[in-house]
Amino acid sequence: MATDTNRDHASEAEVEHAGDHGSHPTEGTYWKIFWILFAVTAVEVLLFYKSLPGVHLNNAALGILAMSKFVVVVGYFMHLKFDSRILRRLFVTGLILAVVVYIAYMLTMGVFIGDPPIHKS
Protein backbone atom coordinates (compact mmCIF):
# COMPACT_ATOMS: atom_id res chain seq x y z
CA MET A 1 0.00 0.00 0.00
CA ALA A 2 2.76 2.33 1.01
CA THR A 3 4.59 1.56 -2.21
CA ASP A 4 1.43 2.32 -4.20
CA THR A 5 0.97 5.61 -2.33
CA ASN A 6 4.55 6.62 -3.04
CA ARG A 7 4.13 5.76 -6.69
CA ASP A 8 0.90 7.76 -6.84
CA HIS A 9 2.67 10.79 -5.32
CA ALA A 10 5.56 10.41 -7.72
CA SER A 11 3.30 10.21 -10.75
CA GLU A 12 1.26 13.23 -9.54
CA ALA A 13 4.51 15.16 -9.17
CA GLU A 14 5.60 14.06 -12.62
CA VAL A 15 2.29 15.19 -14.14
CA GLU A 16 2.50 18.53 -12.35
CA HIS A 17 6.14 18.89 -13.31
CA ALA A 18 5.39 18.04 -16.93
CA GLY A 19 2.59 20.59 -16.89
CA ASP A 20 5.04 23.25 -15.68
CA HIS A 21 7.35 22.93 -18.63
CA GLY A 22 6.83 24.68 -21.90
CA SER A 23 9.21 24.72 -24.83
CA HIS A 24 12.11 27.15 -24.47
CA PRO A 25 12.15 30.17 -26.79
CA THR A 26 13.98 29.97 -30.10
CA GLU A 27 17.14 31.96 -30.91
CA GLY A 28 15.00 34.32 -32.99
CA THR A 29 12.89 35.05 -29.91
CA TYR A 30 16.03 35.75 -27.86
CA TRP A 31 17.17 38.32 -30.44
CA LYS A 32 13.72 39.95 -30.46
CA ILE A 33 13.78 40.16 -26.66
CA PHE A 34 17.24 41.70 -26.76
CA TRP A 35 16.10 44.43 -29.15
CA ILE A 36 13.06 45.11 -26.95
CA LEU A 37 15.37 45.44 -23.91
CA PHE A 38 17.68 47.70 -25.91
CA ALA A 39 14.74 49.92 -26.92
CA VAL A 40 13.48 50.14 -23.32
CA THR A 41 16.99 51.09 -22.11
CA ALA A 42 17.15 53.78 -24.82
CA VAL A 43 13.79 55.17 -23.62
CA GLU A 44 15.12 55.20 -20.02
CA VAL A 45 18.19 57.22 -21.05
CA LEU A 46 15.94 59.53 -23.08
CA LEU A 47 13.77 60.08 -19.98
CA PHE A 48 16.91 61.08 -18.08
CA TYR A 49 17.62 63.89 -20.55
CA LYS A 50 14.05 64.83 -21.54
CA SER A 51 12.11 64.25 -18.33
CA LEU A 52 8.35 63.88 -18.23
CA PRO A 53 6.56 66.78 -16.50
CA GLY A 54 6.80 66.17 -12.75
CA VAL A 55 9.64 64.42 -10.95
CA HIS A 56 7.39 61.74 -9.47
CA LEU A 57 5.85 60.86 -12.86
CA ASN A 58 9.31 60.62 -14.43
CA ASN A 59 10.63 58.45 -11.57
CA ALA A 60 7.55 56.22 -11.77
CA ALA A 61 8.05 55.79 -15.53
CA LEU A 62 11.73 54.89 -15.02
CA GLY A 63 10.77 52.43 -12.27
CA ILE A 64 8.12 50.74 -14.44
CA LEU A 65 10.54 50.45 -17.38
CA ALA A 66 13.25 48.91 -15.17
CA MET A 67 10.72 46.51 -13.67
CA SER A 68 9.54 45.43 -17.12
CA LYS A 69 13.16 44.76 -18.18
CA PHE A 70 13.70 42.77 -14.97
CA VAL A 71 10.59 40.62 -15.60
CA VAL A 72 11.47 40.00 -19.26
CA VAL A 73 15.06 38.89 -18.46
CA VAL A 74 13.90 36.62 -15.61
CA GLY A 75 11.02 35.21 -17.63
CA TYR A 76 12.73 34.60 -20.97
CA PHE A 77 16.53 34.62 -20.58
CA MET A 78 16.39 32.79 -17.23
CA HIS A 79 13.49 30.63 -18.52
CA LEU A 80 11.48 31.12 -15.33
CA LYS A 81 8.32 31.53 -17.46
CA PHE A 82 8.88 28.05 -18.88
CA ASP A 83 10.49 26.27 -15.91
CA SER A 84 8.99 24.57 -12.87
CA ARG A 85 6.60 26.48 -10.62
CA ILE A 86 8.76 25.48 -7.65
CA LEU A 87 11.68 27.54 -8.99
CA ARG A 88 9.38 30.49 -9.64
CA ARG A 89 8.07 30.34 -6.07
CA LEU A 90 11.58 30.02 -4.65
CA PHE A 91 12.90 33.11 -6.44
CA VAL A 92 9.76 35.21 -6.08
CA THR A 93 9.69 34.48 -2.32
CA GLY A 94 13.23 35.88 -1.94
CA LEU A 95 12.39 38.84 -4.14
CA ILE A 96 9.15 39.73 -2.35
CA LEU A 97 10.82 39.29 1.04
CA ALA A 98 13.61 41.65 -0.03
CA VAL A 99 11.19 44.26 -1.40
CA VAL A 100 8.89 44.20 1.66
CA VAL A 101 11.73 44.20 4.23
CA TYR A 102 13.68 47.04 2.59
CA ILE A 103 10.64 49.20 1.82
CA ALA A 104 9.66 48.86 5.50
CA TYR A 105 13.26 49.69 6.46
CA MET A 106 13.39 52.74 4.21
CA LEU A 107 9.98 53.96 5.40
CA THR A 108 11.17 53.63 8.99
CA MET A 109 14.28 55.64 8.18
CA GLY A 110 12.28 58.35 6.39
CA VAL A 111 13.64 57.83 2.88
CA PHE A 112 10.36 58.60 1.07
CA ILE A 113 9.36 61.61 3.16
CA GLY A 114 12.20 63.89 2.11
CA ASP A 115 14.19 64.24 5.32
CA PRO A 116 16.63 67.17 5.27
CA PRO A 117 20.38 66.40 5.11
CA ILE A 118 21.48 65.23 8.55
CA HIS A 119 25.16 64.46 8.00
CA LYS A 120 27.98 66.88 7.45
CA SER A 121 30.32 64.36 5.75
Partner 1 sequence: MTAPATIEHDSHAAHATNTGISNEKLAVWAFLGSECLLFGALISTYLLYKGRSTEGPRQEIYDIPFTSASSFMLLMSSLTMVLALAAIQRGDHPRLRLWLLATATLGSLFITGQVYEFTTFYREGLSVSSNLFGSTFFVLTGFHGVHVTLGIVMLLSLCVLSLRGKLPEQKSEVVEIIGLYWHFVDIVWIVIFTVVYLIP
The residue ranges that bind partner 1 (CB under 8 A) are 2-3, 6-7, 9-10, 13-14, 17-18, 24, 27, 30-31, 33-34, 37-38, 41, 44-45, 47-49, 55, 59, 62-63, 65-66, 69-70, 73-74, 77-79, 84, 86-87, 90-91, 93-95, 97-99, 101-102, 105-106, 109, 111, 115, 117-121
77 closest CA partner among 39, 18, 42, 27: 27
CB 74 within 8 A of CB 9: no
The CA distance from 29 to 48, in Å, is 29
Shortest Å, Cβ 16 to partner 1: 8
Shortest Å, Cβ 27 to partner 1: 6
The CA distance from 54 to 61, in Å, is 11
